[in-house]
Amino acid sequence: MLGMIKNSLLSTVEAWPYRVLSKGEKEQLSYEERACEGGRFAAVEVSGKPFDEASKEGVLKLLKYVGGTNDKGVGMGMTAPVSITDGSLQQKVKVSLRIPSQFQANPPCPNDKSIKIEERQGMTIYSTQFGGYAKEVDYVNYAAKLKSALGSEAAYCKDFYFCNGYDPPMKPYGRRNEVWFVKE
C-alpha cells in the first residue's frame, strides 16, 4: 500500500510513447491523429458493475501492482494514461496501463491473478482531450463530439473506444482526460 501511495504522489509519470501524425479542429473540437507504440500492458477486467465503479476498482488493482504487489516486490513507477474500454454489450470494463519502459522486457508477475500481462501491437488513434474529474457521462459526451468532428471520412473501429486518464486523483487542477478511437 505504501508503494502505491508513493507511486501516486512522488514518482514521475512515464507517458505512453506516441507521435502526432496530424491535428484537426471541427465543430469547436480539437483532435489529433497519433501513432502509439505497442508493448506490454497490465490489464484487469471488472464485470457486473457500473462503469465508474468498475473503473475505480480496476485502477486500484493496477496501482497496487505497479506499486510493488508483484512477485519481485518492486515499485515500478507509474505510466499514463490509464486506459479504460467499456464492453457495454458484455457489461465488462477493461482497465489497463503500459508497463514502464525499464520493465517492458521482463515485467514482474502480478500477485493478483485477475491482472493479466498483455502484448499489444502499436496502433494509430484519433484523440480528443478534456479536463476535470472524468466520469462515464463525460467520456460518452466527448466520444460523440469526436465522432461528429471526424465525420464519415475517417475509418475507425466503432465497436469500442478508449477512455483515458492521465492524472492521480489528488490533482485538483489541470487534469487531462482523452477519448481515443482506433483507426482502421
| CATH number of 146's domain | 3.20.80.10
Domain encompassing residue 155: 17-38+122-183
Q: What single-letter amino acid sits at 34?
A: R
114 shares a domain with 85? yes
pLDDT at position 33 over 50? yes
Cα(177)–Cα(123) distance, rounded to whole angstroms? 19
User: What is residue 6's predicted lDDT score, i.e. its pLDDT?
Assistant: 47
> If 0-12 CB within 10 Å is exposed, 13-18 middle and 19+ buried, where does residue 45 land?
middle
128 shares a domain with 74? no
Question: What is the pTM assigned to this prediction?
Answer: 0.90
71 shares a domain with 34? no
Residue 9 in domain: no
Last-in-domain residue among 72, 89, 120: 120
Cα(119)–Cα(44) distance, rounded to whole angstroms? 14
Residue 145, all three cell numbers: 463530439
pLDDT at position 131 over 60? yes
Residue 6 in domain: no
Is the CB of residue 83 less than 8 Å from the CB of residue 182?
A: no
User: What is residue 153's predicted lDDT score, i.e. its pLDDT?
Assistant: 84
111 shares a domain with 84? yes
Residue 4 in domain: no
Identify which has the larger pLDDT, 27 or 90: 27
Q: What percent of the chain has pLDDT over 90?
A: 83
111 shares a domain with 50? yes
User: What is residue 51's predicted lDDT score, i.e. its pLDDT?
Assistant: 92
Average pLDDT, stretch 54-68? 96
